[in-house]
């Protein structure tokens, strides 16, 4: 098993992984092949995959805005969950943030995803109650 940077050719496997895990994604917007490739080339992005026998079994997208690091798209194939893969990915993301002098890390978990909550709690993330998330989108499908 190796953890490496996301490559453009990983796109189909990444989407397949997210579909199998029933993760929401926007194939016509921010999660389109063109958008992921563009985002992956930004200086504020660090996109990683976990590969085993040429198959993608995990992903994490780490980004920052210069003051806070964000963890997105943490996903691990069901057969490899609870084996430390997510913890290793989170650690890689946090190391990336530290190298960029980012000292606050955050993630958003959609819905009541108990597994994701537990994963981040086990990595010393604290839940903040009463935070309201607002978004404005040019189109609904992005």
Looking at the structure of the chain, the number of domains it has is 1
Domain contains 38:
yes
Domain contains 109:
yes
Whichever domain contains 108, its CATH number is: 3.40.630.30
Domain contains 33:
yes
Domain contains 133:
no
Is the overall model pTM greater than 0.75, yes or no? yes
Please give the residue range of the domain that contains residue 15.
2-121
pLDDT digits (tens, 9 = 90+) for 50-107: 999 999 999 999 999 999 999 999 999 999 999 999 999 999 999 999 999 999 999 9
Instruction: Work out whether the CA dihedral 91, 96, 98, 102 comes out positive or negative.
Output: negative
pLDDT digits (tens, 9 = 90+) for 106-127: 998 887 788 999 999 999 999 9
Domain contains 138:
no
Domain contains 139:
no
pLDDT digits (tens, 9 = 90+) for 26-48: 999 999 999 999 999 999 999 99
């Amino acid at each position: 098993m190796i953890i490496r940077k996301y490559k453009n050719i990983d796109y189909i496997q990444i989407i397949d992984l997210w579909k199998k895990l029933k993760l929401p994604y926007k194939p016509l917007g921010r999660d389109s092949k063109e958008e992921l490739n563009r985002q992956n080339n930004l200086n504020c992005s660090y996109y990683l995959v976990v590969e085993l026998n040429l198959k993608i079994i995990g992903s994490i997208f780490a980004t920052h805005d210069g003051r806070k690091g964000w963890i997105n798209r943490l996903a691990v194939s069901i057969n490899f969950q609870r084996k430390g893969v997510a913890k290793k990915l989170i650690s890689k993301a946090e190391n990336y943030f530290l190298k960029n002098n980012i000292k606050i890390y955050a993630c958003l978990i959609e819905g009541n995803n108990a597994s994701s909550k537990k994963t981040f709690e086990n990595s010393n993330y604290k839940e903040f109650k009463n935070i309201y998330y607002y978004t404005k989108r040019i189109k609904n499908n992005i």
